[in-house]
């Protein structure tokens, strides 16, 4: 496994690498959800590249950016064990050039739902994903369904800008209680984790936005300070963010119909 930090180096090495390239973009703090993306890329491609880059442009909250979990050493170990070929780990100055104010946006969807709560977030995501696509030139790129709106926007961008990259999605991976794996879960105390799992359990049983709100209101949680930030129905899915110990937990599921089994 080779770890590279500069744009010119990774471009040079990948240019001489034969076969198809699968790309898994990450911000590190790797968990089972990332592992599922990497395993899929390894099956589909000759070479797998994982980027680890905490993208400053997608954080609308500086505190959130500064406190984003950093587990680089453990991440490298995991990626080695998974048989990843290349890690791309650039500094911010490699990716954002001086006076770089270029941003990619979907002028409607980037501002909806999660985009409404986190202004500029999706512009930052699309911009870095396009930059990484242009640097690495992969055949396929892998995204989790957990960040459903991100996946939808990346698909739209790829289509709109005629990028020759197949966007492959992988279903959300959950722990034994149904809580989706997320880098941010590492910030929860054990009590917080238990409370998050309690919300995840009622979310999994909810048949609509109203049903989830009702269940949430009537729930006696084992922990104080659990807030429902939003719940929306869109794309045939129910999407939510709730906060536990100040940590935002993002989840979505296909909408179940009351008469379906």
Indicate whether 128 belongs to the interface with ligand PAF (CB under 6 A): yes
Indicate whether 167 belongs to the interface with ligand PAF (CB under 6 A): no
Pick the closer one to ligand PAF by CB: 141 or 179.
141
Indicate whether 113 belongs to the interface with ligand PAF (CB under 6 A): no
- Residue 53: CB minimum distance to ligand PAF, A: 7
Which one of 92-100, 124-132, 158-166, 198-206 is the stretch in contact with ligand PAF (CB under 6 A)? 124-132
Site mask, ligand PAF, residues 208-227, x = CB under 6 A?
A: --------------------
Indicate whether 41 belongs to the interface with ligand PAF (CB under 6 A): no
Pick the closer one to ligand PAF by CB: 144 or 178.
144
Indicate whether 125 belongs to the interface with ligand PAF (CB under 6 A): yes
Indicate whether 55 belongs to the interface with ligand PAF (CB under 6 A): yes
Burial class (CB in 10 A: 0-12, 13-18, 19+), 42: middle
Site mask, ligand PAF, residues 58-97, x = CB under 6 A?
A: x---------------------------------------
Which one of 13-21, 121-129, 164-172, 217-225 is the stretch in contact with ligand PAF (CB under 6 A)? 121-129
Out of 22, 25, 115, 180, the residue judged to bind ligand PAF by CB under 6 A: 25
Give the chain as a 3 state SS string.
CEEECCHHHHHHHHHCCCCCEEEEEECCCCCHHHHHHHHHHHHHCCEEEEEECCCHHHCCCHHHHHCCCCCHHHHHHHHHHHCCCEEECCCHHHHCCCCCCCCCCCCCHHHCCHHHHCCCHHHHHHHHHHHHHHHHCCCEEEEECCCHHHHHHHHHHHHHCCCCCEEEEECCCECCCCCECCHHHHHCCHHHHHHHHHHHHHHHHCCCHHHHHHHHHHCCCCCCCEEEEEEEEECCEEEEEEEECCEEEEEEEECCCCCCC
Pick the closer one to ligand PAF by CB: 90 or 192.
90
Start-to-end Cα distance in the chain: 45
Known active-site residue 34? yes
Which one of 10-18, 91-99, 123-131, 190-198 is the stretch in contact with ligand PAF (CB under 6 A)? 123-131
Residue of minimal Cβ distance to ligand PAF: 25
**Cα separation values, 222 from 194, 195, 196, 227, Å:** 8, 6, 10, 13
Candidates 81, 80, 21; CA nearest to 48 is 21
Give the chain's radius of gyration (CA, Å).
19
Select which of 34, 223, 257, 261 is catalytic: 34
Number of chain residues interacting with ligand PAF (CB under 6 A): 10
Indicate whether 252 belongs to the interface with ligand PAF (CB under 6 A): no
**Binding residues for ligand PAF, per CB under 6 A?**
25-27, 55, 58, 125, 128-129, 147, 150
Residues annotated as part of the active site = 34
């Amino acid at each position: 496994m080779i770890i590279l930090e500069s744009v010119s180096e990774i471009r040079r090495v990948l240019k001489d690498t034969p076969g198809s390239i699968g790309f898994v973009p990450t911000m590190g703090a790797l968990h089972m959800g990332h592992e599922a993306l990497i395993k899929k890329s390894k099956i589909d491609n000759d070479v797998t590249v994982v980027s680890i880059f905490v993208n400053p442009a997608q954080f609308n909250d500086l505190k959130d950016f500064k406190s984003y979990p950093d587990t680089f050493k453990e991440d490298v170990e995991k990626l080695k064990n998974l048989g990843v070929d290349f890690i791309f780990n650039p500094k911010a100055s490699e990716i954002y050039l001086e006076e770089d104010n270029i941003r990619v946006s979907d002028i409607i969807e980037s501002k909806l739902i999660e985009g409404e709560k986190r202004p500029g977030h999706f512009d930052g995501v699309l911009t870095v994903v396009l930059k990484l696509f242009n640097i690495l030139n992969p055949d396929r790129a892998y995204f989790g369904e957990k960040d459903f709106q991100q996946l939808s926007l990346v698909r739209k961008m790829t289509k709109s800008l005629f990028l020759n990259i197949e966007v492959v999605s992988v279903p959300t991976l959950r722990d034994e209680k149904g809580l989706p794996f997320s880098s941010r879960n590492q910030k929860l105390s054990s009590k917080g984790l238990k409370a998050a799992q309690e919300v995840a359990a009622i979310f999994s049983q909810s048949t609509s936005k109203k049903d989830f709100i009702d269940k949430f209101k009537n729930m006696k949680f084992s922990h104080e300070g659990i807030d429902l930030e939003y719940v929306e129905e869109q794309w045939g899915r129910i999407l939510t963010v709730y906060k536990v110990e100040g940590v935002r937990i993002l989840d979505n599921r296909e909408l179940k119909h009351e008469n379906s089994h």
